[in-house]
Amino acid sequence: MGSDPFIAGPGQARTKGSDPKVALAWAREHLFSSWGNTAVTLMIVYLLWKLMLPFLDWALVKAVWWSPDGKACRVEDSGACWALIADKHRFMLFGTYPFDAQWRPALASLIFVALYVVSAIRACWRPWLALVWLGGLAAIGVLMWGGVFGMVYVENERWGGLALTLLLATFGIAIAFPLSILLALARRSTMPVIRWLAIGYIELIRGVPLISLLFMASVMLPLFLPEGVTIDKLLRAQIAMILFAAAYLAEVVRGGLQAIPRGQYEAAQALGLSYWKMMGFIILPQALRISIPPLVNTFIGFFKDTSLVLIIGLFDLLTTVKVSLTEPKWTGFGVEAYIFASAVYFIFCFAMSRYSQALEASLGAAQSRGTNGAGKGVA
Amino acid sequence: MKAFVAVTSALALTLAALPAQAQSTLDAVKSKGFVQCGVNTGLAGFSQPDSKGEWQGLDVDLCRAVAAAVFGDAKKVRYTPLTAQQRFTALQSGEIDILARNTTWTLSRDTSLGLNFAGVNYYDGQGFMVPKKLNVKSAKQLAGATVCVQPGTTTELNLADYFRANNMTFKPVVIEKLEEVTNAYFSGRCDVYTTDVSGLVSVRKSRAQNPADHVILPEVISKEPLGPVVRHGDDKWFDIVKWSLFAMVEAEEQGLSSSNIDQMAGSNNPGVQRFVGASGELGKMLGLDDKWAFNVVKQVGNYGESFDRNLKPLGFDRGINALWTKGGLMYAPPMR
């Protein structure tokens, strides 16, 4: 998913080859090197065969692809009920958004994806990228809310599905990440009050599960607000998620900061750089680079954590999938619905993971060669 | 950052709605132009978004009825899907104007939670379902049975109470997820499945290979009157919600439906005349337009229509939810 151009970067040179002779040699060496190995290989192939055949039979051969009333799926000996996805996919992807206007969240989701892709290309890491994001997010806001250019206003209670998942994840990461850098710097600060505040915040938030934060935001917070003051449910959940993600990311960034040798700090100070210049030009670029794997790890985790808004009744992708199953004609086809949801999550998470590998490889190669990676662009 | 702008503008939007909240709920609802209704995130027949994302159900119809009464337009509703834990807070904090989320009316909720139940739109109760081949006719014959039940609700307690009160033993099979507990029952792991009768009916209809192979026993071991809820302290709004529900029941009793109310409005039956607002000032007494009840029936339908539209396709029969004239419990005080 958009990460293919990066895979062929430096450091990825070992290719298993398309030459059949090479493949055969590889197989002989790795799979059939001894009697024991051959037996294990054959056994695994047999097991896969035994497992895959019924699965394919269920998922493809006997599957029901189209049945608006769900009756065909109830027939004895029928396979997977993909008719459920055919009937409910728009609800799953866009929730209770007005049906006729669902091109708007669809377009908004595409803009999100386009923003991710643009941000993934290192040639685009220029100041104008911030403007692109600003423009993109403004366009998404206009599309989702509407009320202008002849689009009907849609209140955010009706937002849902994939668009909501992307919204929660993107705003969550986009705001939590800068916040986490500040927190990490504060935690390593020499000023005691700032350090204690940062430690207190991080330990407090990390000490409770995300679910309890969401509960606090959705159930407790409204009770503390003065009579009549209500903060939007979506906004409350979003803030809780930002606070949570920031605490975790801060520790990742701090790990990166700690890995930078003292000499780097001293050299920067010897050059007469101020604290912010030292951090901005010398320390953070290195610290963030070595933090890429754990950062992406946290991003992926966070992307999936957005599904926890299920418990506070926000209609994100997982909630819409679950709600689809409460319709009597589709109850009992949970496996199909969850396969659909996992496929969507997998596409996003796998893309993130592949991208981070490629990025690491290209940045790592630049570092080991001692050249400036930025000039090289994308392979 | 754009994010900041979005956050502040969203905050500003909610704060802008503030001054309205200081007034009565009716004035607030009128000035914002819609009824904010708390509903279940997904319960077939009661409140559930369909494939087009439109909310449908018996509880949803009640929200629409209130909107029709207040605005003359049943579409002026916004729905807030709520989980069981959130529902009362959402009402107490003023996030929603009505809670129509299959909520059981109990004394403690009515008093200590600061809520008012504006009537009952569905009388439910806990029952038992058994496979027909066991040839069980009464719950009293269930001694020693294996019972599938979901944990953490009053269902489990009622079950234990009932068996103890009747000096019987049972083996509970406690499973959290609805999906799994019904699978356990239909695969024969338990002899009996217990939950609210409404749940039994829809599970039997949707999950059983052959619905006729399973019987719901006549004993109903708990009372679960489900109804719309409003906050304490705003009697005017309480009246409006209460009478919107009564109007639906009364319409069914008078034989008024969405299809015939236009013709019936011309009849000279004094009850109908009062109902449609042609005589008397019932609307004014509620602080509404005199055609409020006409609008409810015209746009949403009477209680029977709502029941037939939402619950009948799931296999529900009226039972105790029939009109009092037909042996049920649905009864509206005189509208005069």
Cβ pairs bridging A and B (under 8 Å):
138
* Residue-level pLDDT at B97: 93
Question: Residue A83 to residues A64, A75, A342, B296: CA-CA distances in angstroms?
Answer: 6, 13, 17, 36
- What pLDDT is stored for residue A122 in this prediction? 76
Contacts of A138 in chain B (CB under 8 A): 2
Owning domain of residue B62: 25-123+226-261+277-326
Q: Is residue B114 part of a domain?
A: yes
For residue A61 the two structure tokens come to: 């051969």
Sort A348 into a burial class: Cβ within 10 Å, 0-12 / 13-18 / 19+. buried
Q: Cβ of A137 and B6 within 8 Å?
A: yes
Q: Are A166 and A126 contacting, i.e. CB atoms less than 8 angstroms apart?
A: no
Please judge whether A90 and B52 are an interchain contact, meaning their C-beta atoms are less than 8 angstroms apart: yes
Count of beta carbons in the 10 Å neighbourhood of residue B253: 18
Report the alpha-carbon distance of residue A213 to residue A208 in Å, rounded. 7
Residue A19, token pair as written in the block: 């030459």
Degrees, nearest 5: CA angle B118-A226-B231: 5
Set of chain A residues whose Cβ sits within 8 Å of the Cβ of B86: 218-219, 312-313
Nearest to B292 by CA among B326, B331, B325, B251: B251
Whether B31 and B119 share a structural domain: yes
Question: In terms of domains, do B238 and B318 share one?
Answer: yes
For residue B3, is it within any domain? no
A219 Rama class: left (phi>0) / alpha (psi -120 to 50) / beta: alpha
- Out of B10, B49, B90, name the one closest to residue A96 (CB): B49
Q: For residues B118 and B109, what is the distance between their CA atoms, to the nearest angstrom?
A: 13
Is the CB of B85 less than 8 angstroms away from the CB of A219? yes
Q: Are residues B45 and B91 in the same domain?
A: yes
Q: Same domain, yes or no, for B237 and B108?
A: yes
A141: Cα separation from own chain's centroid: 20
Contact between chains at A137 and B2 (C-beta distance less than 8 A): yes
**Is it the case that residue A124 has pLDDT exceeding 90?**
no
Looking at the complex, report in whole angstroms how far the Cα of residue A88 sits from the nearest Cα belonging to chain B. Answer: 5
Pairing label, strands B122-124, B48-49: unpaired
Chain A (139-168) residues lying within 8 Å, Cβ to Cβ, of chain B: 141, 155-158, 160
Looking at residue A248, what is its pLDDT? 92
Report whether pLDDT(A366) > 70.
no
| CA–CA distances in Å: residue A157 to residues A139, A145, A312, B117 | 19, 11, 12, 25
Contact between B315 and B204 (Cβ < 8 Å): yes
Q: Which residue has the higher pLDDT, A378 or B187?
A: B187
Tell whether B208 is within 8 A of chain A (Cβ). Answer: no
Asked if the C-beta of B52 comes within 8 angstroms of chain A's C-beta atoms, the answer is: yes
Q: How far apart are CA B241 and CA B100, in angstroms?
A: 10
* pLDDT at A128 (0 to 100): 84
Residues of chain B with C-beta less than 8 angstroms from the C-beta of A218: 86, 89
Residue B135 near chain A (CB below 8 Å): no
A365 band by pLDDT with thresholds 50, 70 and 90: low
Is B82 within 8 Å of chain A by CB? yes
Q: Which residues contact A347 (CB under 8 A, 6 or more apart)?
A: A1
- A308's tokens: 């926890």
Q: How far apart are CA B255 and CA B271, in angstroms?
A: 11
Q: Which of A213-217, A357-361, B104-108, B243-247 has the lowest mean pLDDT?
A: A357-361
| In a domain? residue B103 | yes
The two structure tokens encoding residue A334: 């949970």
Regarding whether B37 and B171 lie in a shared domain, the answer is no
Interface of A with B in 61-90 (CB under 8 A): 74, 76, 87-88, 90
In B225-240, which positions are buried (b, 16+ CB within 10 angstroms) versus exposed (e)? bbbbbbbeebeebbbb
Rounded CA gap, A186 and B46, in Å? 51
Beta carbons of B83 and A312 less than 8 Å apart: yes
Residue A23 is predicted with a pLDDT of 82
Three-state SS for B75? Answer: coil
Q: What's the rounded mean pLDDT across residues A335-345? A: 90
3-state secondary structure of B23: coil
Burial category of A17 from C-beta neighbours within 10 Å (exposed 0-12, middle 13-18, buried 19 and up): exposed
Q: CATH number, domain at B202?
A: 3.40.190.10
Interface test with B, best of A326, A330, A338 (most B CBs within 10 A): A326
- pLDDT tens track for A68-93: 777 777 777 788 888 888 888 888 88
From the list B2, B44, B48, the residue facing A138 with the nearest CB is B2
Lowest mean pLDDT among A112-126, A258-272, A323-337, A363-377: A363-377
As a whole number of Å, the end-to-end CA separation of chain A is 17
Q: Taking the complete model, does pTM exceed 0.90, yes or no? A: no
Q: Which two tokens stand for residue A30?
A: 């790795």
Domain presence at residue B112: yes
Q: What is the pLDDT of residue B152?
A: 63
Which residues neighbour A265 within 8 Å (Cβ) at sequence distance 6 or greater? A278, A282, A283
Does the pLDDT value for residue A377 go beyond 90?
A: no
* Pairing verdict, β B170-174 and B214-216: unpaired
* Average pLDDT over all residues of chain A: 82
Give the pLDDT band of residue A353 (cuts 50, 70, 90). confident
* B1: closest chain A residue by CA: A134
For B95, the closest of A74, A99, A230 (CB atoms) is A230
A-contacting residues in B 248-307 (Cβ below 8 Å): none
What mean pLDDT is reported for chain B? 88
Concatenated DSSP letters of A102-163: THHHHHHHHHHHHHHHHHH-GGG-STHHHHHHHHHHHHHHHHHH--STTPPP--GGG--HHH
Interchain pair B52, A160: CB under 8 A: no
- pLDDT at residue B7, as a whole number: 47
Inter-chain touch A235–B51, beta carbons under 8 Å:
no
> How many Cβ atoms sit within 10 Å of the Cβ of residue A2?
14
* H or E element, residue B146: strand B145-149
Q: Are residues B65 and B132 in the same domain?
A: no
Out of B14, B53, B206, the one facing A96 most closely (by C-beta) is B53
Report the C-alpha gap between A183 and B291 in whole angstroms: 60
> How many other C-beta atoms lie within 10 A of the C-beta of residue A44?
11
The residues, ordered by sequence, that sit 6+ positions from A5 with a Cβ below 8 Å of its Cβ are A378, A379
- Is A65 in contact with A82 (CB distance < 8 Å)? yes
Is B272 part of any domain? Answer: no
Strand-pair partners of A220: none
Q: Chain A contact for B22, CB < 8 A?
A: yes
Nearest to A108, CA basis, from A76, A143, A84, A147: A143
For residue B11, being part of any structural domain is answered with no
B12 reaches A (C-beta below 8 A): no
ipTM higher than threshold 0.95: no
Report the alpha-carbon distance of residue B331 to residue B120 in Å, rounded: 10
Q: How many CB atoms lie within 10 A of CB B152?
A: 9
A328 to chain B, any CB pair closer than 8 A? The answer is: yes
* Among the partner residues B10, B93, B207, nearest to A232 by beta-carbon distance: B10
Same domain, B195 and B237: no
Residue B101 lies in a domain: yes
Whether the CB of B51 is below 8 Å from some CB of chain A: the reply is: yes
Domain spans of chain A, in order of start: 98-153, 163-326+333-367
Q: Which of A129-143, A214-228, B3-17 is least confident?
A: B3-17
Residue B1 lies in a domain: no
Residues A323-349, mean pLDDT to the nearest whole number: 86
Examine the domain organization and report whether B112 and B237 are in the same domain: yes
CB A195 within 8 A of CB A186: yes
Chain A residues within an 8 Å CB radius of B81: 313, 315
Question: Does residue A199 register a pLDDT over 60?
Answer: yes
What is the structure's pLDDT at B192? Answer: 94
Query: How confident is residue A379, by pLDDT bands cut at 50, 70 and 90?
Result: very low
Kindly state which CATH superfamily the domain A163-326+333-367 is placed in.
MetI-like (1.10.3720.10)
A334 touches chain B (CB under 8 A): yes
Query: First and final CA of chain B: distance in angstroms?
Result: 59
Enumerate residue ranges in chain B where pLDDT < 50: 1-21
Segment 170-199 of chain B within 8 Å of chain A by CB: 179, 182
Instruction: Decide if A331 and B7 are in contact by the 8 Å CB cutoff.
Output: no
Q: What is the pLDDT of residue A100?
A: 83
